[in-house]
Amino acid sequence: MPNYQRLYRSGGSYFFTHVTYKRHPWLCTELGRQALREAIIAVRRKYPFAIDAFVLLPDHFHCILTLPEIDADYAKRW
Q: What is the pLDDT of residues 14-54, one digit of tens each?
A: 999 999 999 999 999 999 999 999 999 999 999 999 999 99
In 10 A of CB 74, how many CB atoms?
Answer: 20
- What residues contact 24, with CB distance under 8 A and at least 6 apart? 59
In 10 A of CB 48, how many CB atoms?
Answer: 11
Q: Which residue has the higher pLDDT, 18 or 78?
A: 18
Q: Which residue has the higher pLDDT, 58 or 2?
A: 58
pTM: 0.83
| pLDDT, tens digit (0-9, with 9 covering 90-100), for 46-76 | 999 999 999 999 999 999 999 999 999 988 9
Q: Which of these, 21, 16, 31, 27, lies nearest to 58 by C-alpha position?
A: 27
Residue 20 one-letter amino acid: T
Domains and CATH numbers, the chain: 13-77 (3.30.70.1290)
